Amino acid sequence: MTKKTDVVIAGTGVAGLYGALNLPRSLQVLMITKKDVKSSDSFLAQGGICVLRDADDYDSYFEDTMRAGHYENRKESVDIMIRSSRHVIEELERYGVEFAKKNGAYRYTREGAHSRPRILFHEDITGEEITSKLLKKVQELPNVTIWEETEMTDIIEEDGRCRGILAKGPDGETEIRASYTLLATGGIGGQYRHSTNFPHLTGDAVEIAKRHGIRTEHLDYVQIHPTTLYSTKPGRRFLISESVRGEGAVLYNHKKERFVDELKPRDVVTKAIREEMEKEGTDYVWLSMEHISKETILEHFPHIYRHCLEEGYDVTREWIPVVPAQHYFMGGIWVDSVSHTSMPGLYAAGETSCNGVHGANRLASNSLLESLVFSERAAKDIAKKLEKRIIIEK
Ligand code: SIN
């Protein structure tokens, strides 16, 4: 079967959805997703989304992102992301996203390696709030079609240019021919035994890119989140958001001693936990929320509270066992500042791409923002090229 469209987007997380929303309505857009539309990691993001609070916050936000990334970040990308952040938040609110507010003013939370609170949130399900609102808007668009349970198996390369993708779905294989292709297939956690990601997210786009000689970058830059709920059950690890530590939760070893500054960058906290587990010969350390009021726990972290309760822990009264697990991929398909890959006609955005914004270690709550900023840039660039009807470029 062959299908023709103007733009094909692989992936329906925030990068794919926001890309579709930023394309002109005159274009036919086909989106595919490997499972159902709600099974993207964007839905799982808990902590929040960073924003530049005011002009005075620029230097500090820039420095926090660079320091967490071990100064291996691409500075241009960091600058673009930070300067675009307020616009993105305004757009999200226009699409109906609600962030926590008090007396009409934003409430900001904090996470590790941030020198001040600058993270907007919606309870502890910020990703679900953003992604579900964007998904609803996309589903209302007459120019966008979504195919679920459809897996990208390859891209179509002709004369060195991308002409679409090959996909396998419930009705068999389809050659989806498109003027432009946007890869937004998310992370690689499905390759790990212990990950916070959906197991079907296995880095397919990166593998395809490698097969076609498309430039990739930092494929060994994988982030391990310090705190997931310890469990011996198989399946996805449940995240205990870093914003819990930002609001005052602390880590203890089995001797009830603190052993690390909980608000250090993720890689530092993860290393300290692993060393402590090794030293004590244990499979987890403890996280205590006893310094957070019950009211704050119920209001800010209701889903974490409920999940832990279902697992037998009342976080308002007891410590919970936590262990690091794979969480995020900083490397990926190399892209430029408008998310164009090294292959003409092919764009990538979100976790599968690498625009260098995160360097060697992502600063907490920069992932949703980065996905949104750089998928919008991809969409605008595609629109510009299609308007000019430039089919062969670069
Ligand atoms: C968290 O809530 O700890 C995860 C947020 C993120 O990965 O930035």
143-167: pLDDT as tens digits: 999 999 999 999 999 999 999 999 9
Mean pLDDT value of segment 48-53: 98
> Residue 102 C-alpha to ligand 1 middle, in angstroms?
22
Residue type present at position 306: R
Helix 367-387 and helix 14-21, axial crossing angle in degrees, nearest 10: 40
What tens digit of pLDDT does each residue of 272-286 get? Answer: 999 999 999 999 999
> Which active-site residues does the annotation give?
266
Q: What residue ranges of the chain are covered by domains with CATH 3.50.50.60?
A: 2-220+330-393
- Ligand 1 atom at minimum distance from 362 CA: 8
What tens digit of pLDDT does each residue of 336-364 get? Answer: 999 999 999 999 999 999 999 999 999 99
Question: Residue 79: is its pLDDT beyond 80?
Answer: yes
Mean pLDDT value of segment 235-239: 96
Question: Residue 114: is its pLDDT beyond 60?
Answer: yes
Ligand 1, from 65, 243, 269: best to mutate by most atoms within 8 Å of Cβ?
243
> Residue 182 C-alpha to ligand 1 middle, in angstroms?
25
Mean pLDDT value of segment 312-319: 98
- pLDDT at position 393 is 43
**Cβ neighbours for 394, distance < 8 A, ≥ 6 positions apart:** 340, 344
Greater pLDDT, 216 or 387:
216
| The domain made up of 226-327 is a member of CATH 3.40.50.1820 | no
Element (H, E) at 269: helix 266-280
31, 112, 246, 291, 314 from 261: Cα distances, Å: 43, 9, 11, 15, 24
- pLDDT at position 389 is 66
> Residue 362 C-alpha to ligand 1 middle, in angstroms?
10
Residue nearest (by alpha carbon) to ligand 1 atom 1: 241
What tens digit of pLDDT does each residue of 116-153 get? Answer: 999 999 999 999 999 999 999 999 999 999 999 999 99
Question: Residue 216: is its pLDDT beyond 70?
Answer: yes
Q: What residue ranges of the chain are covered by domains with CATH 3.90.700.10?
A: 226-327
What tens digit of pLDDT does each residue of 358-391 get? Answer: 999 999 999 999 999 999 999 999 999 998 864 4
**Cβ neighbours for 284, distance < 8 A, ≥ 6 positions apart:** 230, 277, 321, 322, 323
Residue 185 — φ and ψ, nearest 5°? -90, 5
- pLDDT at position 120 is 98
**Cβ neighbours for 47, distance < 8 A, ≥ 6 positions apart:** 109, 111, 119, 121, 124, 126, 241, 242, 243, 246, 364, 365
- pLDDT at position 392 is 42
Topology adopted by domain 2-220+330-393: FAD/NAD(P)-binding domain (3.50.50)
Ligand 1, from 223, 229, 239, 351: best to mutate by most atoms within 8 Å of Cβ?
239
Ligand 1, from 123, 327, 368: best to mutate by most atoms within 8 Å of Cβ?
327
> Residue 138 C-alpha to ligand 1 middle, in angstroms?
25
Task: Tell me if the pTM is above 0.85.
Answer: yes
41, 46, 103, 255, 300 from 99: Cα distances, Å: 19, 13, 13, 39, 11
Element (H, E) at 355: none
Residue type present at position 356: G
Ligand 1 site residues (CB inside 6 A) read 45-47, 239, 241-243, 328, 364-365, 367
> Residue 98 C-alpha to ligand 1 middle, in angstroms?
18
Average pLDDT of the chain, as a whole number = 97
Mean pLDDT value of segment 34-59: 97
Helix 75-94 and helix 367-387, axial crossing angle in degrees, nearest 10: 90
Residue type present at position 289: M
Side by side, the strands of the sheet bearing 353-354 are 216-217, 332-334, 353-354
- Ligand 1 atom at minimum distance from 47 CA: 2
